[in-house]
Amino acid sequence: MRLDKFLKVSRLIKRRTLAKEICDQGRVEINDRPTKASSTVKPGDKLAIRFGQKVVVVEVQEIKENPRKEEAASLYRVIGEVPVPRDEQEEADYLKA
């Protein structure tokens, strides 16, 4: 399954267009490698997603095309959350301005 679609159906990100934008900005990695929205995700992959001042790391548990709302959280397991190093955050803020 495409990365942007997985992020949407798992409800890690609410909209697929937003998931694509985040991937295009380089804020998502699969198994410690920068990736594109069109990259393929499979069970066992580790995703690192940068949300503002933190990076959320999850492991893909299962792939489903159209899971119900109750099933979405079972598609992944949260491994941890890590704060973004201050220098990287300042650089990101600078680039936005």
Q: What topology is assigned to 3-96 in CATH?
A: 3.10.290
The CA–CA distances, whole Å, from 57 to 3, 60, 94, 96, 97 equal: 14, 10, 25, 24, 27
The rounded distance, in Å, linking the Cα atoms of 70 and 52 is 26
pTM of the predicted protein model: 0.82
Which tokens belong to 88?
Answer: 């990287």
Structural domain spans, the chain: 3-96
pLDDT in tens, 13-72: 999 999 999 999 999 999 999 999 999 999 999 999 998 889 999 999 999 998 998 899
User: In this model, does residue 2 exceed pLDDT 60?
Assistant: yes
The torsion angle over the Cα atoms of residues 60, 26, 83 and 48, rounded to 10 degrees, is: 10
Strands of the sheet with 46-51, listed across from one edge: 33-34, 28-30, 46-51, 54-60, 76-83
